[in-house]
Amino acid sequence: MLASLFLAFSSLTAVQAALKYKGVDWSSVIVEEKAGISYTTTSGSTEPLEKILKESGVNTVRQRVWVNPRDGNYNLDYNIKLAQRAKAVGLDVYIDFHYSDTWADPGHQAIPSGWPTNIDDLSWKLYNYTLDSSNKLAAAGISPTIISIGNEIRSGLLLPTGSTSNFYNVAKLLHSAAWGVKDSNLSPKPRIMIHLDNGWDWNTQKWWYESALKAGPLETSDFDMMGVSYYPF
């Protein structure tokens, strides 16, 4: 299982060799730069963060995407600009669709403003949003290595419609999101991730995936990776 709580490069060479993805979530870089924050190397020189990360052994950056945030930060256009910076220095990009106008986590999975709430229309909206977003990434020359269809969705996504109180709806939404990626112009196709929190709790992970797959619409072929958040504190 890939931990979506990305690990920064480790001083332990054995751990370094074992990790395929050595990354950070750098979603807020543009926000921080606008606030006057800059980044320096260990030798004290000021450099763009992407250059520092690349030269420090990082190979992947994670970026959260919000649908229609009030200030525009973290929307798709914001993320395309950020991903182009990563691409320019040879960093891979991991796109994390929150499918919300703001933070999505186990306690907050609000349907974006203006989206339908009935399951059939919401599933089509989710498919088309994912397809359109993926095509815009492709048109901008961005080929993500990973796309996460939701963020920490242990309680479901696009609530209340996609609550785990009705796993059929969860499965239908995830199936639609996955095929929005699969039907897109992205080439090569990214690995599709389903991302839950509580990575330490195997019983929860087992219950969740068994329930989602048993519900019907979601198939194992719809996704490639099981991501977990693991907070050791």
DSSP conformational letter for 163:
B
- The 10s digit of each residue's pLDDT in 125-168 is 999 999 999 999 999 999 999 999 999 999 999 999 999 999 99
Amino acid 144: pLDDT? 99
Range 33-51 average pLDDT: 97
Strand runs labelled E in the chain: 2-3, 23-25, 60-65, 92-97, 146-149, 191-196, 225-228
User: Using an 8 Å Cβ cutoff, are 215 and 167 in contact?
Assistant: yes
Instruction: Report the percentage of the chain scoring pLDDT > 90.
Output: 89
Amino acid 231: pLDDT? 85
Amino acid 2: pLDDT? 32
DSSP H or E run through 55: helix 49-55
Kindly list the distances between the CA atom of residue 4 and the CA atoms of 19, 23, 96, 148, in Å, as whole numbers in the listed order. Answer: 13, 10, 10, 9
Residue scoring higher pLDDT (10 or 18):
18
152 contact partners, CB below 8 Å, separation of at least 6: 104, 105, 106, 195, 196, 197, 229
Amino acid 19: pLDDT? 66
Q: Which residue do the tokens 């979506």 mark?
A: 4
User: Using an 8 Å Cβ cutoff, are 89 and 52 in contact?
Assistant: no
| Tokens of residue 230, six digits | 């693991």
104 contact partners, CB below 8 Å, separation of at least 6: 98, 110, 150, 151, 152, 153, 157
Distance CA 96, CA 101 (A): 13
Q: Which residue do the tokens 């980044």 mark?
A: 39
Amino acid 116: pLDDT? 99
Is the pLDDT at 5 greater than 70? The verdict is no
* Whether pTM exceeds 0.85: yes
| Tokens of residue 32, six digits | 């921080």
DSSP conformational letter for 90:
T
Mean pLDDT of the chain, nearest integer:
93
Radius of gyration of the chain (CA): 18
Distance CA 10, CA 199 (A): 20
Domains of the chain and any CATH numbers: 24-228 (3.20.20.80)
Amino acid 6: pLDDT? 36
Distance CA 99, CA 67 (A): 6
My answer on whether omega of the bond before 188 falls inside 30° of 0, hence cis, is yes
- The 10s digit of each residue's pLDDT in 103-128 is 999 999 999 999 999 999 999 999 99
Residue scoring higher pLDDT (92 or 12):
92
Tell me the pLDDT band of 1, cut-offs 50, 70 and 90: very low
Is the pLDDT at 203 greater than 60? The verdict is yes
